[in-house]
Structures are given as C-alpha cells and as structure tokens.
A = this chain, B = another copy of it.
Amino acid sequence: MIEQEAKRLKQITEQLISTKGSMVYQSPRHGELMPSVEILKETVELLRKIIFPGYFGNSSLNEENIGYYVGVNLDRAYHLLMEQIRRGLCFDCLENNDKICGDCNHHAKELTMSFFEKLPEIKRILSTDVEAAYCGDPAARSHGEVIFCYPAIRALTNYRIAHEMTKLGVPLIPRIITEMAHSETGIDIHPGATIGEFFSIDHGTGVVIGETSVIGNHVKLYQGVTLGAKSFPMDKDGNPIKGIARHPIVEDNVIIYAEATILGRVTIGAGSVIGGNVWVTESVPADSKVLQ
C-alpha cells in the first residue's frame, strides 16, 4: 500500500519534470544560479536599515555606534546584492541571447558599486517624501510615525532603490524589488517610472504607476489612483511593442484624489487637481480642476 503510494509519487515527479524543457522552465546561461527572491528580500531589508537606521533593524542606535551598524549592513548588502545582480545579468543574457555578460562578475561589481554610490542621494530624496507625508496628513503625529508605518514610505523606498538600478541597466532585479512592495502595500510602482521629490501617497492601496510615467515634485496621490496606458501598438505578430512611452506625465504640485484613473501619454499640468473617481484620457493645462 505504502509502496504503491511511493511509486505513484515517483511517477508524478517524472511527469512533472518531463515538461522541464517547456517555456515555463528557463535557466541562466552557463549553468549559473537563478536569482533568489528570498535573498533579495533580505537585501532590501538591509538597505531599509541603512536608510532609516534605528527604525528598522537594531533598536539600540546612538551617535557613537550608528556608523558601526550602517557599515556592517552596507558590507552585507553589498555582497548579497552583487551576487544577485550577477545572477540577474546571467538570467537576462539567456533571454536575449546577447553577449553583454561576457564578464558578468566584473560587470556586476561595477553596477553594484555604482548603485551603492547613489544611496546617500536616495536617502536624501526619501527624507523629502517623509516630510511631504508628515505635512500633508493631519493624522500623522510625528516624522517617526511616518517612517515606521506609512505604506507609501515603504513602497517608495523599494521604488527609489529599484529605479536607480533600472537606470544603471540592471535587469530583472528592480522589478522583483518593486513587486515586493506591491505585495506589502498594494502600491504598484514600476521601477521604470520617474518620480520627483516630496512625493506622497495617502493610504495607497490600489495605486498603479506605469513604466513610462513621469511625475514632478510635490505631487500627492490618494488610494486607488491609476497612471496607466490607454492602449499600446502591436507589432506585426500581434505582440505589444515594448518600451514605448504610454503613461501620463504629471507635473509639479498636482493632487490626484482617490480612484482617479489617468490613461495614456497625457500631461496633467502643474498645480492641477484631479477629483476622485475621475477618468482622464486627455491632457489638461496647468492649474486645472477636473471633477466628476
């Protein structure tokens, strides 16, 4: 009886792997390892500890020991991230069949260090986002509360990290990083989007910011806002053409209320206010008020 069970499990195993050549199972070139979502999670948490020390990670920080904690977390994050970027390069390489990862190790090191050199600037911009959330929300009791628990800060930390990687040309990894934040906060920001300083999102669940969106400074969104594509051109095989600018441009000082949907490569002029639940598919001039 038990032997029969064991035999059936073996048959199922064999059925499952017999499909291993199919499209679903891919592997990096040259027998390299696959990226690990688990380790990327750990890496992003280390970066969060580096950017907001004391809030995340060690609780006993003071002026004397903060350097030690940041230094150790930076060293750990560096080694972990370099390995994952290397794997990302190898994985991508398979897909496009090009020669770019000739020296993956070397390239991964350069990309990782270039990314780390952006960290002080990432920290600075995130501090403007904290400021914007604190000033814009009557329920916020302190900057500390904003850092500890506002989902927008969590999502923006992941996004700003991932966006710098995307600008450096790191494949795959940035998208995995923003999807972690999507899962935790319900805020879906594509790492390709461009977002200015003092950006805030209230509540956040259901916000979607598409790949080619461009957002200015001092912009505020509420929950459920979508900056999406209206349609996208197909190639001759009926597949969507990748990489075309197809999401909105939102200029400085715009406020967009809950559940508003803005679709296509339209421009929301500076200082405009878009009301809740509104559906916008054409550009609006500066200082407009668009209500339902």
Residue numbers of A with Cβ under 8 A of B are 1-3, 5-10, 12-17, 19-20, 22-27, 30-31, 33-37, 50-56, 58-72, 74-76, 78-79, 87, 91-92, 95, 109, 113, 116-117, 119-120, 123-124, 126-127, 130-131, 135-145, 147-151, 171-172, 175-176, 179, 182-186, 188, 190, 192, 203-206, 208, 210-211, 222-224, 226, 228-229, 232, 239-244, 246, 258-259, 261, 263, 276-277, 279, 292
Residues of B within 8 A of A65 (CB): 6, 9-10, 71-72, 75
Question: Which residue in chain B gives the minimum CB-CB distance to A226?
Answer: B258
Residue of B nearest to A126 (CB): B24
Q: List B contacts of A68 (CB < 8 A).
A: 13, 67-72, 75
**A149 touching B176 by the CB < 8 A rule?**
yes
B64 with A113: CB separation less than 8 A: no
Which of B12, B54, B141 is the one whose CB lies under 8 Å from A34? B54
In the complex formed, the residue of B with least CB distance to A137 is B240
Shortest C-beta distance, A226 to chain B (Å), equals 6
Provide the residues of chain B in CB contact with A1, threshold 8 Å: 31
Contact of A16 among B12, B33, B50, B109 (CB under 8 A): B50
* A139→B75 contact, CB < 8 A: no
The CB with the most chain B CB atoms within 10 A, among A36, A147, A149, A182, is that of A149
Chain B residue nearest to A139 (CB atoms) is: B211
Tell whether, in the assembled complex, residue B242 and residue A138 are in contact, meaning their CB atoms are under 8 Å apart: yes
Of the candidates B62, B69, B203, which one forms a contact with A188 in the assembled complex, judged by CB atoms under 8 Å apart?
Answer: B203
A23 partner residues in chain B, CB cutoff 8 A: 127, 130-131, 143
Known contacts A9-B75, A244-B138, A120 near B67 by CB under 8 Å: no
From B36, B78, B131, B149, A59 is in contact (CB under 8 Å) with B36
Find out whether the CB atom of B72 lies under 8 angstroms from the CB atom of A72. yes
Contacts of A240 in B (CB 8 A): 135-138
Complex contacts, A22 vs chain B, CB 8 Å: 127
**Other-chain residue from B95, B144, B277, B279 in contact with A279 (beta carbon distance below 8 A):** B277
* Given A188-B205, A190-B139, also A34-B61 (CB < 8 A): yes
